[in-house]
Amino acid sequence: MSLPDTCPSERLGGSGAAEKPWVWYHSCTMLRYDKIVRLTAFAFACGAIAGLAGGLVFGGGRDTATASDTRTEPGAAITAAPGSGAASSPMTAQVAQEIGANEFGLVPVLEYHKIGTPESQWTRTPANFRKDLELLKGAGFYPINLTDLESGAIEIPAGKSPVVLTFDDSSPGQFRMLDDGSVDPDSAVGIMQQAVKSGDWAPKASFYVLLDVRPDDNVIFGQPDAQTQKLRDLVSWGYEVGGHTVTHLNLKKASLEESRKQLAVAAATIEKYVGGSYKVRTMSVPFGEYPKDDSLLASGEYDGMTYAYKAAVEVSGGSTPSPFTAGFRPLHIPRIQVTGSALQDMIDGFISSPELRYVSDGDPTAISAPKVLAEKLGEPLSDLGRPVVRY
């Protein structure tokens, strides 16, 4: 989904595309490749510098909360810290019950667009975004990337509940650099990095960027000279960058050829800017308008460029089923638009129906849940590739 003013107002081709194979997109298309080629050339020019700078701004620190010995309710920790691997001892039904683990529960995926003023349906003020993070922390939530959700690699402290923060359209307020090279503390990234420094939070969120739209500020967060650095910094710190097509294309209305072009070019361009072995694995479907056949999103090829989106997010729909249940649809992951009291309403819903909430056992090598599940959670998958502990 996007604000109306992020949709393209210009349709240009460009012969410069042929000079850069990762952004091939021939004439008579919707891309202005002169811009993309310039941006990509800049990626080469600043590659080494951006790589070194990646760790300088906020340092990419990760939460290192230590484990405690007991657990009585969601929100305060027990076994292993995220990223530390398996718990110190195999998960047991007794421990899972003490934690209140339920890894077949629902997971909220939050949807943000602009971070700025004034507050509106598509804009969250910096002050309210800070309050959102504090509200989530206080309610026992802990962030993961969308690709972590899709793969089931949900490594968070025991007793915590995963939440995915997603940002569409790459507007400047999501990630802005100041003149001194530091991250704007009132941008979404600056606010999240401060939350990481404050503890009990991780540098995790999924950003879905645009490459050729009006206004230009929505092209990879604006600030053209810093775009490559921003993408590399996000990934080096732990965040995820995914696709949103090139021009915010309506995939329901576009031709198959045009859709494949934009899906492929978006993934290939992001991967080239980030560098290394980074692969784009998730996307946000513009306007929430899906193509007739989901297989178009799952994989495809255009002019030698291939793509494979493992997960895609919708515009609305509430919390998503656990990836360990039959109800999870990786290419149709619902989201909660964070506007008004929506976030508090979500938390209140889990307070009134705690049996619906995903609660981690802190052990990524096992899946723990009550023997009796709420009907709304659906059926657990039969083959999860790891031990299932029921209590």
pLDDT of residue 134: 98
- What whole-number distance in Å separates Cα of residue 216 and Cα of residue 135? 33
Determine the Cα–Cα distance for residues 297 and 258; give it in Å rounded to an integer. Answer: 13
pLDDT of residue 37: 38
Q: Choose among 291, 312, 309, 290: nearest CA to 300.
A: 309
pLDDT attached to residue 177: 98
Say whether 221 sits in a helix, a strand or coil: coil
**Total number of residues shown for the chain:** 391
In b/e form, how buried is each residue of 280-309, taking b as 16+ CB within 10 angstroms?
bbbbbbbbbebbeeeebbeebebeebebeb
Domains and CATH numbers, the chain: 4-54+103-353 (3.20.20.370)
**Phi, psi at residue 137, to the nearest 5°?**
-60, -50
pLDDT of 87 reads 57
Tens-level pLDDT at each residue, the chain (391 residues): 444 344 433 332 333 333 333 333 333 344 444 444 344 444 434 444 444 344 433 443 333 333 333 333 444 433 344 444 445 689 999 999 999 999 999 999 999 999 999 999 999 999 999 999 999 999 999 999 999 999 999 999 999 999 999 999 999 999 999 999 999 999 999 999 999 999 999 999 999 999 999 989 999 999 999 999 999 999 999 999 999 999 999 999 999 999 999 999 999 999 999 999 999 999 999 999 999 999 999 999 999 999 999 999 999 999 999 999 999 999 999 999 999 999 999 999 999 999 999 999 999 999 999 999 999 999 999 999 999 999 9
Strands (E), the chain: 109-112, 114-115, 123-124, 141-144, 161-168, 206-209, 240-243, 282-284, 300-302, 305-307, 311-317, 333-337, 367-369, 388-390
pLDDT at 40: 43
Q: Which of 190, 283, 199 is nearest to 237 (CA)?
A: 190
Q: Give the model's pLDDT for residue 215.
A: 83
The secondary element (H helix, E strand) that includes residue 38 is: helix 33-53
Yes or no: say if 235 and 275 are a contact pair by the CB < 8 Å rule.
no
For residues 164 and 202, the answer to whether their CB atoms sit within 8 Å is no
